Structure 1
Amino acid sequence: MATTVDPTSASTTDPSTGIGGTVYEYLWTWKKRQLQITYEIMGEGKPILLLPALSTVSTRAEMRGIAELLAPQFQVIAVDWPGFGTSERPPFNYEPSVYYSFLADFVRDTFTEPIVVIAAGHAAGYVMHLAQHKPPMWSWVVLVAPTWRGPLPTAMGENRWFYKILKQLVCLPVLGQFLYFLNTLAPFLTSMYRRHVYSNPNAVTPSLIQQKQRISRQPGARFAPAAFVTGTLDTVKARPQFIDLFQPLPVPVLVVIGEQTPPKSRMEMEVLVSFSGVQKCRLPGSLGLHEEHPAALADAILPFLKKFLSR
């Protein structure tokens, strides 16, 4: 069972953690444990759900730019995934079933009709699995730089046994905290953002990295990111399974690809748009184009939004 409670704040939020709207807590229960999930609402009108990418520094704040551009015409709702952002981060065994259940419950409890969802990165698999629900949860889906395979499997291949051991090590009390600390040092985060997330290295400023580092070092922060990095949160294990989620398309889908996306991830996105019936759009940017280039993203999707939401 899930319930909503009164706003935790009626003022704008810290730009490093939120989108600048009114903050709410969503109380969600998983295996008899209740979690506090943070979400924000900005604007009025037809609702649009914003789902950030899963990463070590995942936060709804990365959707701030696109939220500010859409809020004058729509009501935007941005949520932090369980174990990420400012949502509660208990030492769960984080796996896909956690996120399938959370997203389904949150949508059912928050909305009364099918909605538009704009999802970044690894959120794509969860959105497309739930697109099969009847009655439908989504009226239209926008996937920004969609991925299906975690960072380590993408970089090093399908050594799942090794990644499972590594995840278990990171979850240990002392050694795990140390290993995770190394993964959140400013030089490592800077390198990650310049190589994979932003297309303009000059945009990766010390203040940006400090914001990301604060997000990554909250109590309990290592458990869910360790699952993501090692591929434990992958909704599929092979490319054909990912493409199957789009055939046939249960709802209209737009896939947005960054022109500077790293080669391996870019190839997977191009294969997806080539072998499915999705609409496609290419914009400047990389895996974090929704955060780095929100104006270009808004310009690309607003015509479609007005079309679908005017029905």
Structure 2
Amino acid sequence: MALYATFMPPSSPKFNLYAKIRAPFNPYSVRVLNPLTIRASTTLDYSNVSANDKSSPLKTSNWQWKFKDNLVNIYYEEHVKESSEPSQNILMMPTISDVSTVEEWRSVAGDIVQRNGNANWRATIVDWPGLGYSDRPKMDYNADVLEKFLVDFINSPNSPIKQPENDLIIFGGGHAASIVARAAKKGLVKPKAIAAVAPTWAGPLPIVFGRDSSMETRYGFLRGTLKAPAVGWMMYNMLVSNENAIQSQYKSHVYANPENVTSGIVESRYALTKRKGARYLPAAFLTGQLDPVTSREEFLELFAALEGKTPVLVLSTKGSPKRSKAEMEALKGAKGVSKFVEVPGALLPQEEYPALVAEELYQFLQEYFGSVAYS
């Protein structure tokens, strides 16, 4: 979405903002390989791969997350294949954006769980608090809040994915991948493996305008305006909650091929922007409050800390916006990155090219866990 606005914060000079809104289990043994770089176009034949003809039984439910004084209903889906064998769980975290949703992972989940192999995969997709079909209470969203949610969802005794330690694989898109890596770096979660799909760390405005004290003041003013009762809704409806803005956003940089942006996708995302409390978390995302780190150096450190501990796959995309792509490319050959692959797409390759992404993710799973039979 293209954003152009002029704001007059108190005691601050006028400034212009222009930005594109990027918007019982049996454990396996893990083999940690040396980093390698692989180009998708030369390693896999995608000609016969399709996720659209894959289907899986779908269970939907809600989990109640208690955070401070809030009881937040969290929406999640389970994709499973009927089998008498024990299953290995994959947690799929949607890319954080103003229209984030579990829908972006559905085709990939259906593809992977229906495949036949030594492992029986089970995929759980969960909407972040404040986004998708989860509750959207008015609170001060930031990266720490989302990290706390991730840790609680994985580790709580009543979690729908509660299982033995080190027995969960996590796929995350965009900022979600970086938040997963940050939690793993701190030892708050101990995933068996991580796949970072089109990983990002800087919000739409900070990645363009930076984070000096002057800009942080202006971001705070914008954030407060978007959260305000009357003018906030007016600005949100103008910038985010209208079909033309969503279509423009997806065609310009969320998808690589504008022809892949269907009316159904636009209508689905538009409906999400009309949910109660829809503007609160996007206000934080836009202004950088959800950024898990503040520099490329810190971004690289997240992955370096996982060296020798957790296999990490990074899926970069050929059509990402220039600034976002530069951050993805910085992970090529970086410490802690076990495998680096480039696939078609932009910021949501898992939705735009689900068959290709599912194939790369499945190959990663096979390389590390596929040859290990259940004990």
State if a TM-score over 0.5 links the two structures. yes
Query: Does structure 1 retain, via aligned residues, the 8 Å contact 2:151–2:189?
Result: no
The code of the aligned residue for 1:147 comes to T
The one of 192, 207, 227 equivalent to 1:171 is: 227
Two-structure CA RMSD over aligned residues (Å): 1.6
1:122 matches 2:169: no
1:258 matches 2:310: no
Deviation at 1:228, TM superposition (A): 0.7
Equivalent runs, 1:124-203 vs 2, <5 Å: 124-134=177-187, 137-158=190-211, 159-183=215-239, 184-203=241-260
1:78 maps to 125
1:6 maps to none
1:294 matches 2:354: yes
Deviation at 1:134, TM superposition (A): 4.4
The structure whose Rg is larger is: 2
1:308 matches 2:368: yes
1:23 matches 2:76: no
Deviation at 1:24, TM superposition (A): 1.3
Alpha carbons of structure 1 residues 203 and 170: separation in structure 2 relative to 1, 3 Å: same
Deviation at 1:135, TM superposition (A): 8.0
Deviation at 1:283, TM superposition (A): 0.6
Deviation at 1:309, TM superposition (A): 3.4
Q: TM-score, normalised by structure 2?
A: 0.75
Query: Does structure 1 retain, via aligned residues, the 8 Å contact 2:57–2:80?
Result: no
Q: What number of residue pairs does the alignment pair up?
A: 293
Choose 36-45 or 298-307, whichever is displaced more: 298-307
Query: Does structure 2 retain, via aligned residues, the 8 Å contact 1:139–1:308?
Result: no
Alpha carbons of structure 1 residues 224 and 135: separation in structure 2 relative to 1, 3 Å: closer
Query: Does structure 1 retain, via aligned residues, the 8 Å contact 2:79–2:124?
Result: yes
Q: Give the structure with the higher percent helix.
A: 1
Cα distance in 2 between the residues matched to 1:201 and 1:77: 29
Q: TM-score, normalised by structure 1?
A: 0.90
1:112 matches 2:151: no
Mark the runs of 5 or more structure 2 residues left unpaired by the alignment: 1-55, 82-86, 116-120
1:240 maps to 297
Deviation at 1:301, TM superposition (A): 1.8
1:248-292 Cα offsets, whole Å, 9 max, x none, are 323111100110111111011111224333110001110111110
Choose 210-219 or 245-254, whichever is displaced more: 245-254
Mark the runs of 5 or more structure 1 residues left unpaired by the alignment: 1-18
> Share of identical aligned residues, percent?
34
Give the 3-state SS of the residue equivalent to 1:116 in structure 2. Answer: strand
1:63 maps to 105
The code of the aligned residue for 2:281 comes to A
